[in-house]
Structure 1
């Protein structure tokens, strides 16, 4: 209890003085493990900016606890590992080199690499690799509507949501804005059947030919009517339509271009090194 009380007071002092308390080598000690010291100044640096007083207390307690446990583990490691096992200079140097290379590559990617992917590139990749995009679930385009049992003009609504007439679609949307508790007209995008079934009290039947022979699905529970119109569909194990996998193809092509950019960069630097005679082979 004394320890928690002391940490609480410390956290309050640190929080209230963060803006004007200097970080110096003579900063008061917070905790120590076998001569290794955690100071108030170090603790201040670790506290996130704009943190509340209560959050500062929790953060301080957690940080000190983690620091002590980490220091104890390090102490045991120093005592029990052989000199060879403790020699991590090469590991640190390799990590530093990898980190610097990665930062430089990312800098050049931002400065010189164009992330533009054209529609033609997407279409060409899809046509070449379409067999790699097999659906693992049924997808549909259509309409979903949920409305209260006492909603007006239900008969007309059933006519509108089944119609292909653009004027009926405008009327349907106006009706849904006024009366539906939830609706989605997704005629221009693919949605999984499972996503729509998750909105229904009884899911869309998962039978092989249901989507082939049924264009509409209606169900009712104790509070609402649910209406679904299937305007287009693709079944599981079919090749996915291009629109459905466009974002995935974009990500693939972007990654491919990044890899090519880095490979070209490495080759350019290699040739430059040879030309400037900074490379020597022995």
Structure 2
């Protein structure tokens, strides 16, 4: 929606906003876009940009934010012109939504506090056994070791030996080495990771992960700054049944939801009885 000349101005605007944060200057209230009587200022766009974005990503985010603001304001203007006063009165709807949201959040909080600790491992395993066909993997998962070190890291040959080892003492040595030298270090021998969780850290994602996992135990690659080491100790492929520990949290959520209706009914009854006892309810 933003034209090429406006976009050039947007780039300059974002760079100026970034400079303001470094210099300590206040963010300008200078208008950026105006639709009828409504104005979007530079400061409003700046406040919307998430922290930590590069200048390039900030420009992209700001462009999208402005486009969405323009579309929204145009739609609001049309709605304001074409709806009757009764149709535009949404106060009751907003209040009903606010009440429903608060009730839901309170119920969910109590449900998790009361029932979540009471869901046992045996309940989880029983449900898993009964519904095992519903827990087929959509992506491969692995257990292993993953390390990223700078190209300048010392004693690389030691690292190459340690990350492949199954010996517990070597894992301790690996941890000590990585504490001093690694950008990222993860030993996930006691839990599963989706292969995508590793791919997002690699300079180039592993191609054909199913085939790769079946045929490789160790993987090493580099880019201009880092070296990447992956050791695969166990794996499960797509369409295999997920291990129970991998889907435990999902099963727990399902079991909690099954208790939800019973819990809410009892909660409402308890609150009603408590209010009568405390004389919080007055009948006329």
Bucket of the pairwise TM-score, normalised by the shorter protein: 0.5 to 0.7
- Per the TM alignment, residue 74 of structure 1 is displaced from its structure 2 partner at its CA by 10
Q: Residue 115 of structure 2: SS of its match in structure 1?
A: coil
Q: How does 1:92-111 map to 2 (within 5 A)?
A: 106=107
Out of 183, 186, 193, which is 1:184 matched to? 186
Alignment partner, residue 239 of structure 2: 237
Counterpart check, 1:255 vs 2:252? no
> Is the CA contact (8 Å cut-off) linking 1:126 and 1:249 kept in structure 2?
yes
- Per the TM alignment, residue 205 of structure 1 is displaced from its structure 2 partner at its CA by 3.0
Alignment partner, residue 200 of structure 2: 198
- Per the TM alignment, residue 76 of structure 1 is displaced from its structure 2 partner at its CA by 5.5
Q: Residue 228 of structure 2: SS of its match in structure 1?
A: strand
- Per the TM alignment, residue 189 of structure 1 is displaced from its structure 2 partner at its CA by 1.5
**Could you give the per-residue CA deviations for residues 194-250 of structure 1, whole angstroms, max 9, x where no partner exists?**
110111112223153321221111001122211001111111111111111111111
- Per the TM alignment, residue 188 of structure 1 is displaced from its structure 2 partner at its CA by 1.4
Alignment partner, residue 77 of structure 1: 84
Counterpart check, 1:128 vs 2:135? no
Q: Distance in 2 between matches of 1:168 and 1:238?
A: 32
Q: Distance in 2 between matches of 1:111 and 1:192?
A: 27
**Structure 1 residues 257, 170: closer, same or farther in 2, change over 3 A?**
same
Q: Residue 114 of structure 1: SS of its match in structure 2?
A: helix
Alignment partner, residue 171 of structure 2: 169
> Is the CA contact (8 Å cut-off) linking 1:204 and 1:217 kept in structure 2?
no
**Could you give the per-residue CA deviations for residues 159-214 of structure 1, whole angstroms, max 9, x where no partner exists?**
11111110000000000111112211111111111110111112223153321221
Alignment partner, residue 118 of structure 1: 120
**Could you give the per-residue CA deviations for residues 105-161 of structure 1, whole angstroms, max 9, x where no partner exists?**
939956995333111111111111111111111111111111122222211211111
RMSD: 4.0
**Structure 1 residues 121, 179: closer, same or farther in 2, change over 3 A?**
same
> Is the CA contact (8 Å cut-off) linking 1:109 and 1:258 kept in structure 2?
no
The alignment's TM-score, normalised by the length of structure 2, stands at 0.56
- Per the TM alignment, residue 77 of structure 1 is displaced from its structure 2 partner at its CA by 1.9
* Pair member with larger Rg: 1
Unaligned runs of 5+ in 1: 1-53, 59-65, 269-282
Unaligned runs of 5+ in 2: 1-42, 48-72, 271-284
**Structure 1 residues 263, 149: closer, same or farther in 2, change over 3 A?**
same
Q: Distance in 1 between matches of 2:112 and 2:153?
A: 57
Q: Distance in 1 between matches of 2:108 and 2:234?
A: 45
Q: Distance in 2 between matches of 1:150 and 1:135?
A: 39
The alignment's TM-score, normalised by the length of structure 1, stands at 0.56
**Structure 1 residues 192, 267: closer, same or farther in 2, change over 3 A?**
same
Q: How does 1:24-103 map to 2 (within 5 A)?
A: 73=80, 77-78=84-85
